[in-house]
Amino acid sequence: MLKIAEYNKITGKKIDLKELEKFGFHLSDDKKSYEQLINENWWDIRIVDIEDRYLEHITEEIGYWTFTDDDELLEITFADLLKEGYVEKVEE
């Protein structure tokens, strides 16, 4: 599984989740996650859970939501955060 690291892999600095705002994320209404619409589409969202810092990609398809936790797909979806040293891989 992928999650936001405690410390940036490049700079070594502690990561405050508020930093995700510079990548286009915003705090959700329930304040439990940071979210970003992909290409401004309400049905295609990438999410960082505040409590455990895990990454998720959700899409809406014909009336139901699909959650993606496949590492390879998440690496593509969160490529910008990986490149900047924010993401680490952890065992379940």
Rounded Cα–Cα distance for residues 73 and 66 (Å):
13
Domain extents in the chain: 2-89
- Residue 92 CA to residue 61 CA, distance in Å, equals 27
Residue 87: both structure tokens together: 């993401």
Instruction: Tally Cβ neighbours within 10 Å of residue 43.
Output: 12
Which runs of E-coded beta strand occur in 1-92?
A: 2-4, 26-27, 33-38, 41-49, 55-61, 64-68, 87-89
Whole-prediction pTM: 0.84
- What digits encode the pLDDT tens for the residues 8-65? 999 999 999 999 999 999 999 999 999 988 767 676 788 899 999 999 888 887 777 7
